[in-house]
Structure 1
């Protein structure tokens, strides 16, 4: 979960906002907590534009290319499925196909350098603009009824993340699957009239990471860490 302040940087097509991308195995949800904007998506349903304002809620499945548009101080609480996988590289930005198809070129294009806030911000903006370049190609083809470029992007994205799947599987097993198995055990215990796990009840409090916010794909990210003291 993160508190997202969507970029206000202008783009060549006259919008303001974030970096188009997709997730390869994780659902993503938005709860809009302030401001106004839109999310533009490319999916099995084609191209869609959904208005966003305080109280808007929507989520989308893996493979949905999404682009956030900021029309006025847009702030979103984002909720990601599969604890840890999005942070481990589940997202693929919509760079032009010749970059996404080449692992080294992709890594170079997606990485933000060390440096001052201004330098990192400029690099994040260049990264955003490159992703919009590839996104525009996908959108143009899809509007003409041609899914070929989108399918080619899916294939390249899959090949790009394939070397990390073993690592992701272990991470998912240690987090998500472990939680599922805990709930399975608790249900089985309750079915037998055993409520002993309720005696382990606890509260975990989260603390915000210090400023400045991170440069995310779609904006500046406020992130919490669990305080387990």
Structure 2
């Protein structure tokens, strides 16, 4: 029997991850490099799966400065606190896998703006927020945001390469201050998403061990398509999926 029924979406993607697709910006920055807006995530690990083109991701971490090549089939991922900047090398396209789906979209990312912007919540919010839509006004604002993030990033990188990790550590502390008030909301999202998914697996293991796999009677399949194409993300033009209870539209885009 073939069924045309389309089930609802009460469950998140595998592992409660977030999913989007990016085409890296080809705008040239002050250092002559084309690419996205450097930033970090406070509690989420992010992965790039390269689906086309070439480029790199530049990272700042306690390991120092790295330039990781990106080519079709390669994967790069970075843990919370790692500053990362996507660099365009020619038609770079990636699929982004994001831990703790819902948290990144709720403000887990912080741009590497200069210290005077990071120190003022109103200035930071004004610099980080883009006008709605995908037209020329939004594109111009996204490029200004990128340029401001690169300005702060280059200072951090210069100091780190010179052996001074003070500015990098202070940026991490400033980022933590910016998001502190959001933590209660993040905790709720984590409990409803990633934690609930892990706990559901535990319950399924218990059922299997007890010889009563009744939960298998709920088996089904899901489908989804991108709900926004060509949005202006942090690193590039972004196609995203707005899955109920899983991935929310980015508030800073």
> Is TM > 0.5 for Structure 1 vs Structure 2?
yes
Q: Which fold has the larger relative contact order, with Cα–Cα distance below 8 Å and residues 6 or more apart in sequence?
A: 2
| Runs ≥4 residues deviating over 4 A | none
Alignment pair present for 1:141 and 2:156: no
Superposed, 1:100-111 pairs within 5 Å as: 100-111=118-129
* Mapped partners of 1:94, 1:190: distance in 2: 48
Residue 121 (structure 2) pairs with residue 124 (structure 1)? no
The 8 Å contact of residues 53 and 72 in structure 2, kept in 1 or not, is answered as yes
Q: Quick check: 1:39–1:69 contact (8 Å CA) kept in 2?
A: yes
Q: CA deviation at 1:6?
A: 0.5
1:19 is matched with which residue?
Answer: 37
Residue 159 of structure 1 corresponds to: 177
Structure 2: tracts of 5 or more residues without a match: 1-18, 245-253
* Alignment partners' CA distance in 2, 1:49 and 1:191: 47
* Deviation per residue, 1:114-162 (Å, 9 max, x gap): 4660010000000000000000110010011001001110110001000
User: How far, CA to CA, are the matches of 2:134 and 2:68 in structure 1?
Assistant: 35
What is the DSSP-based 3-state SS (H/G/I as helix, E as strand, rest coil) of the residue aligned with 1:11?
coil
Secondary structure of the equivalent of 1:207?
Answer: coil
Q: Which residue of 2 aligns with 1:41?
A: 59
Q: Which residue of 2 aligns with 1:209?
A: 227
Cα RMSD (Å) of the superposition? 1.2
Offset at residue 210 of structure 1 (A):
4.6
Judge conservation of contact 1:7–1:18 (CA < 8 Å) in 2.
Answer: yes
The TM-score, its normalising length taken from structure 2, stands at 0.87
Query: Does the alignment pair 1:31 with 2:36?
Result: no
- More strand by proportion, 1 or 2? 1
Report the equivalent of 2:239.
222
TM-score between both structures, scaled by the size of structure 1: 0.96
- Structure 1 gaps of 5+ residues are none
Partners in 2 of 1:17 and 1:4 — Cα distance?
A: 11
